[in-house]
Amino acid sequence: MQEDIQKVLNRMCDPKEEEAYHFADKLGSMADEETKDHLITLVKGDQWEIAYLACRALAKTSWNEESLDAIFEAIFDKKNKAIQGAFVQILEEFNLGYRFVDIFRVFLFGNFKASTLAKGYLDSVEFDITPRTIRKAEKHWNHYLHNPEDEESLALKKLEVEPMLQELKDLFEE
Segment-wise mean pLDDT, segments of 10 residues, the chain, 174 residues: 88 94 95 94 94 96 93 95 95 96 97 96 96 97 89 89 95 82
Find how far residue 5's CA is from the centre of its chain: 25
- Closest CA relative to residue 39, chosen from 72, 66, 17: 66
The residue type at 26? K
Contacts of 131 (CB under 8 A, 6+ apart): 172
Angle between helices 100-109 and 64-76 (to 10 degrees): 20
Q: What is the pLDDT of residue 174?
A: 64
- Using CA atoms, how far apart are residues 123 and 115, in angstroms rounded to an integer? 12
- Using CA atoms, how far apart are residues 123 and 137, in angstroms rounded to an integer? 15
Q: What is the pLDDT of residue 59?
A: 95
The residue type at 133? T
The residue type at 54? A
The residue type at 160? E
Q: What is the pLDDT of residue 149?
A: 78
In sign, the C-alpha dihedral spanning 69, 72, 74, 76 is negative
96 φ, ψ to 5°?
-100, 10
